[in-house]
Amino acid sequence: MRNYKTKAIIIKQFEVGEADRIISVFSRDFGLITLKARGVRKILAKLKGHLELLSCTQLEIHKSRSSLDTIIGAEAINPFKKIRQNLRSTSRLYLVLEFLNKILPEGESHPKIFDRLLYLLKSLDKNKNKERRIIVITYFCLQVLRELGYYPHFRECIKCQKDLKRGSNFFDFYGAGTVCRDCGERGAFISVSDQAIVFLRFLIENKNISLQKIKISPKVSFEAYALVERYLETTIDSELKSKKFVKLID
């Protein structure tokens, strides 16, 4: 098979030479793959408008025996222009894409994660409300963690296995779960509110929910998001550089 086709989302790109680009895409069929787009930076390049960052695109790819596979055809399915026009949406998306680029192994298919990323893009393309964006992104990140086997636990204490009591509970990032008041006093953990625990538990345990109908205070949703963001960094064992851009924009 010298040529193949796949639907993909453009998640990263950088320029090489005078007119080429190296493009990382997350495809539904082949997972994360790195491709070369020759001459795409030329003014009249036919592929130029179909390979924008965040776009969902149907790609035709030439398989190479010795170097990167090359994009020879592309047709944008959804360019998600509204997202790119909203810096607050794109800043947090860059963080999500950075996480995916670091945690997903090259060439391993994850169709469920692809479908959830596409849902995330569609949701952000329609909704400009900051609080609603936070809920959708938190849900996406938790479901990705669940799919990849990095499931954080929010039901019982991971130290003593007892049910959590109301008030003064903690979260252990390296242990990937909640810690009760008694066990938390003996470790360096962060405190987490009862409301945030219930919210996070709801988001990770339910695969199909109507996010638009969720009613939660901004304080709780932002607390939950901050915990998940830090857990993402613990999972990849490095800081997400996009955080600086998020803080600058917010």
The whole-number pLDDT of residue 170 equals 95
Assigned fold of 3-79: OB fold (Dihydrolipoamide Acetyltransferase, E2P) (2.40.50)
Whether 180 and 201 have beta carbons less than 8 Å apart is answered as no
**Average confidence (pLDDT) over 44-67:** 84
> For residue 75, what pLDDT band results from cuts at 50, 70 and 90?
very high
Average the pLDDT over each of 74-88, 112-126, 152-166, 167-181 and give the range with the smallest value.
74-88
pLDDT tens track for 7-55: 999 998 888 778 888 999 999 999 999 999 887 777 556 777 788 888 9
* Mean pLDDT over each residue of the chain, to the nearest integer: 88
The whole-number pLDDT of residue 93 equals 87
Q: SS in 3 state form for 162-205? A: CECCCCCEEEECCCCEEECHHHHCCCCCEEECHHHHHHHHHHHH
Residue 89 φ/ψ, nearest 5 degrees: -75, -45
Comparing CA positions, the residue from 186, 193, 241, 237 lying closest to residue 217 is 193
> For residue 250, what pLDDT band results from cuts at 50, 70 and 90?
low
- Residue ranges of the chain assigned to CATH 2.40.50.140: 3-79
Number of H helices, E strands in the chain: 8, 8
Q: How many CB atoms lie within 10 A of CB 11?
A: 21
29, amino acid identity:
D
As assigned by CATH, the class of the 82-249 domain is mainly alpha
pLDDT tens track for 167-179: 889 999 999 999 9
- Residue ranges of the chain assigned to CATH 1.20.1440.120: 82-249
